[in-house]
Amino acid sequence: MDGSWKLSFPEGGPTRPAEHALSRPESWTGLGGEDTRCFSGTGRYELDFEVTRPADGWVLDLGRVAESARVRLDGQTVGTAFAIPFRITLDGEQLPPGRHRLEIEATNLMANRIRCLDRRGVEWRRFYDINFVTIRYERFDASDWSPLESGLLGPVRLIPVQTLRPE
């Protein structure tokens, strides 16, 4: 489902990045500056598309997602995908021929934000009765981590499904 995708950031931080126009879904950490590499929260990918033929049902295959996705079709929530395979099943009545709007809200992990906090020397560990250490019992420090891919990575595919009927 290539086309004119719009990516916005409805919630998260430390700051919300600007909107991006995309020709296909991709990780927001590769879109530019520190605002996208440090962002942890939700990115909303939107696409207007047309269905040209009816089907008994559809499978919306999101491809790769980092880490979970809530899917809306024409303003109605149709499912949440949080594990491989990242797929949502739709019946034919949910997706008749015509124009439609797809919104996929992908939410990532806190790892990128923790990386940036450690790089800036911000004290974010506020635990009363725990020592926050690595697996080797060394002081935990994420400042040398590379940003993790985040958001809807795709490719996104819409697959028609036909019901087999006995003869």
Residue 40's pLDDT is 96
Residue 133's pLDDT is 79
Residue 134's pLDDT is 82
Domain that holds residue 122: 5-161
Total domains in the fold of the chain: 1
Residue 23's pLDDT is 95
Is residue 36 in some structural domain?
yes
List, for the chain, all residue ranges whose pLDDT scores fall below the cut of 50: none
**Structure-block tokens of residue 73:** 């079709």
Is residue 101 in some structural domain?
yes
Residue 129's pLDDT is 66
Residue 123's pLDDT is 85
**From CA 43, how far away is CA 27, in angstroms rounded?**
10
Residue 140's pLDDT is 85
Is residue 166 in some structural domain?
no
Is residue 138 in some structural domain?
yes
Is residue 125 in some structural domain?
yes
Residues 10/42, Cβ–Cβ less than 8 Å: yes
State the CATH number of the domain containing residue 89: 2.60.120.260
Is residue 167 in some structural domain?
no
Neighbours of 64 (CB within 10 A): 16
Is residue 112 in some structural domain?
yes
Is residue 76 in some structural domain?
yes
| 85: preceding bond cis by omega (within 30 degrees) | yes
* Strand-pair partners of 155: none
Instruction: Give the torsion sign (CA, 91, 85, 157, 18).
Output: positive
